[in-house]
Structure 1
Amino acid sequence: MPLRPEKHSLTLRGHRTSVSLEPEFWQAFRALAAAEGRGLNELAADIDAARGTERNLASAIRVRILAHLSQRAAE
């Protein structure tokens, strides 16, 4: 049975926000931040700034993780 999304707080440019992601995505998000030598808040702020208005932050994080994993698979 899949686990429910977990809500975590992040700070984006000085403002707190909550993001709900499945545990597997939190793990992948932490791994992505570590691979880029960045903190979760910094990476989330960059994703937030680039996401536009068509996608919520949780979806934008999932898409960024997918893009990263796809790029790694192609290498």
Structure 2
Amino acid sequence: MDPARPQKHSLTLRGHRTSVSLEPAFWQAFREIAAAEGRALNELAAEIDAARGTECGLASAIRLHVLNWYRSRDGSVAERP
């Protein structure tokens, strides 16, 4: 399997199923963030979804959240989508 090829997974956001395609490294980091925060993956995804607005797709919003989360841990400047 190509490690850079996006993989589709289903999420439940506020009672509705949706699928999101992310690269395996982003899925892993997204799961790590949810675990570090003691939250369910669907709960974190729903929060990101609610905050993203209409100009940004859910997959992109998740990638940006992952990037910003890790940047904030190493002292780099983080921006919210």
TM-score, normalised to structure 1, is: 0.95
Q: Distance in 2 between matches of 1:68 and 1:2?
A: 22
Gaps of 5+ in 2: 77-81
Q: Which residue of 2 aligns with 1:47?
A: 48
Q: How far apart are residue 3 of structure 1 and its match?
A: 2.5
Map residues 21-60 of structure 1 onto 2, 5 A cutoff: 21-60=22-61
| Pairwise CA RMSD | 1.3
Q: What residue in structure 1 maps to residue 66 of structure 2?
A: 65
Query: Identity over the aligned pairs, expressed in percent?
Result: 72
- Report if aligned partners of 2:9, 2:20 keep a CA contact under 8 Å in 1: yes
Q: Structure 1 regions of 5+ residues with no counterpart?
A: none
Moved over 4 A (4+): none
Q: How many residues align?
A: 75
Q: Judging by fraction of residues, say which structure has more helix.
A: 1
TM-score norm. by structure 2 comes to 0.88
